[in-house]
Structure 1
Amino acid sequence: MTDTPHYWWLTALLALVLFGDAVMSLRPPGFIRRCLDGVRLPRDWWWILVVIKLLAAAGLAVGLKYPGVAFTTNVAVIGYFICAAYAHFRARFLKQEFWLNCLGMLAFSVAVLIVCYMV
């Protein structure tokens, strides 16, 4: 179950999406700024999200070759988006950014895990 992913391209796509998200977060567009401000994450901490997403993208990419790494990283990405969803609920910031960005990425991460390792 924790071998390399059955469908490498899905894991690579998740890595690419996370990498793109990290790059966008360097100079956040309006929807990312609204999201981070909405959950009241201090601007001084925004850089850590870039680091987390870059490390996740790297872990997924490395995991295409090394057994267990992509699986573990995929689970961590799911944990990250569960924490993000909790932050949205706690801040009562349940606008479009929550439904599309946060829950969309959570659903995509869960789908990749299920299809790549459980099917």
Structure 2
Amino acid sequence: MSALPAPAWPTIVLAAVLLGDAIISVRPVRFVRECVEGVGFPISEWGWVLVYVKLLAVGGLLVGLWQPGIGAAATVGVIAYFLAAAAAHVRARVLGVTFWVNCLGMLVASAAVLVYSFVL
């Protein structure tokens, strides 16, 4: 396993996507609001937590471009986040398009970044 991402571009792309996700979570667009509320997460009370978690992940991914181990740890954290989101969707039986495309799509993308940039 590499301490720094090689190549770095998948990590940068993941950080950009998560930044976009954090931005649209500030004032959640309809599909984000429906997704979060569908799993029983009270977005009106705790929605800010999702924004901070995503921004911390972005920061970790970017710092990890220069600091050994930080990027890999941040990527594992992103994977854990989307595993928890997937489990919440399955438990709540909210298995529509948003689950398959957004939740599982980001889980697969994050795992691919870990393997491609840090393991291979």
TM-score, normalised to structure 2, is: 0.97
Give how far 1:46 is off. 0.8
Unaligned runs of 5+ in 1: none
**Contact in 1 for aligned 2:2/2:119 (Cα 8 Å):** no
Aligned to 1:3: 3
- Indicate the SS of the match to 1:64: coil
Structure 1 residues 7-40: Cα deviation after superposition (integer angstroms, max 9, x where no partner): 1111011011101100110011111011011101
Alignment pair present for 1:63 and 2:64: yes
Give how far 1:2 is off. 4.0
Aligned to 2:104: 103
Letter in 1 for 2:66: K
Q: Distance in 2 between matches of 1:19 and 1:2?
A: 24
Unaligned runs of 5+ in 2: none
Letter in 1 for 2:25: S
- Please, what is the CA RMSD of the aligned residues? 0.7
- Indicate the SS of the match to 1:48: helix
Letter in 1 for 2:105: G
Aligned to 2:17: 17
Matches within 5 A, 1:24-103: 24-43=24-43, 44-103=45-104
The number of residue pairs the alignment matches comes to 119
TM-score, normalised to structure 1, is: 0.98
